[in-house]
A and B are shown apart, each in its own frame.
Chain A
């Protein structure tokens, strides 16, 4: 079973009826990462990298990450835990330099489109 953790409404609208989506309405990039960490610590498997794309964590407000209930061994768990912690550390670093701006609606939609495109590469592998 696969699940997308996202704060990107465009992802929910496009894939919400084809795959499980936990939609974090109105929450931040960091909130998504922290939620993904909860999943990993509850035994879920991280399927996509939490820092997909080259958009910076204080630039795009959106993040979509795929997890699954595929069993992970101890070594995989540690690697995934480190990956998500590194993502959270990087996000914190960028937020401390400058907070994500309050973008106008047209820009928010562009950021959503890019985030959707990044996660789509993974979604299309499992559908």
Chain B
């Protein structure tokens, strides 16, 4: 399966009379887009705003971040099973509005999480401060149930990204990146001397605000399975995970999975990137056993020499991570795991809620308990009053001068467990 990504660099977003992409700027007709979002009868109102790199703007609480893309050729459309019909994506050409994102915010529950600062100390920790962000602030109808509210915000984000992406369907890309996965047989014939490496991608799948969707299927309902890496680049995996801002995988992370990009960069040179195994993180221990049995079995069956395993979220996924690692190593496949740490504010406490001697190659995304001071911003998009009740915040987090003292875990993407962030340790 071969996919070309046509890169269209974006330097700015502006509101305008006509929605279009021109000379690196996205122009948005706000009324037209609002009308599209408000087709969802569960939403009472929606506001749109723009946050650019370097501006004194804070976005909170962030639910999801999505990169606008559009299928130019090949089967299917973006986000299959969610906002387009089920069809196998991952081949042909997809245009990418690189440098832009759609950010959703909404008060689904009273306690909140997820800050993106566009400048200052906090901006160093989130990759989304470097993007031109179109922010969608959704208000639900009165009395809407939490599950329905979460879904409405999630779908509003996808619809907005799709709307923006489609503006770039006929634009000639400035640069084209090509990614190809060959069949197992062809890979063995082409690169007999190269180590066979796979990627085990763990997906959060536990319930309200803790879910991930694959071609529209709730990941907790599925067994571990194989997916082509280019399918993920076309939106086959969508985040419905709004908890633990620092180490959740937004839809943007899935579309731009750094493990996949790095493995492709070495594909055919130092290794043979065989493919991606997706597996879930359910609450039921028997599910954890079953899913990790299955992912290790798939690693063995694919004849892998090595596997990279990435985690999502805090707490019990540590158990899934260690189960995957131990069982995959048990099949004779060398394993590297990617996680993050809750090691206390001084970094001295035990980092994970589980461990095993087989986990002898670990990459960390940073310590989420580290305390940071976020300066006051001139403008807040979303709901500033939630700073005191944000994960990693505390009573008094929101200072009188508008600054915030909190743990790193408040920042969206700060300790991402795919490694999509600058923090790590040696």
Contacts and interface: CB of A to CB of B under 8 A. Distances in A.
A20 interface: no
Interface in A59-81: 59
Contacts of A83: 285, 319, 354
B284 A121 contact: yes
B110 A106 contact: yes
- Main SS class of interface, A: helix
Interface residues of A, number: 38
Contact of B284 (A96, A98, A125): A125
B277 to A, nearest CB: 21
Contacts of B34: none
B110 A107 contact: yes
B60 to A, nearest CB: 16
Given A52-B315, A53-B207, A54-B314, A101 B394 contact: yes
Contact of A54 (B109, B204, B354): B204
B384 interface: no
Nearest to A126: B284
Interface stretch (B158-166, B191-199, B262-270, B345-353): B345-353
Given A49-B283, A56-B391, A121-B282, A97 B369 contact: yes
B285 A113 contact: no
B210 A110 contact: no
A22 to B, nearest CB: 18
B292 to A, nearest CB: 13
A47 B315 contact: no
A113 B350 CA distance: 30
Given A87-B353, A125-B284, A114 B207 contact: yes
Nearest to B343: A93
Contact of B220 (A51, A96, A121): A121
A46 B282 CA distance: 14
Contact of B353 (A51, A113, A118): A51
Contact of B111 (A49, A97, A107, A125): A107
Contacts of A53: 206-207, 210, 243, 283, 315-316
B146 A113 contact: yes
Given A59-B391, A83-B354, A114 B316 contact: no
Interface string B274-290: 00000000111110100
Contacts of B319: 49, 83
A105 to B, nearest CB: 10
A62 to B, nearest CB: 12
B382 interface: no
Nearest to A66: B284
B272 interface: no
10 contacts: A50-B316, A52-B206, A53-B210, A54-B247, A56-B391, A83-B319, A93-B342, A110-B111, A117-B208, A118-B208
Given A90-B350, A93-B342, A117-B209, 20 more contacts: A47-B286, A49-B285, A50-B316, A51-B353, A53-B316, A54-B210, A54-B243, A54-B317, A56-B314, A56-B342, A89-B350, A93-B350, A97-B345, A101-B389, A114-B210, A114-B243, A118-B208, A121-B283, A121-B284, A125-B284
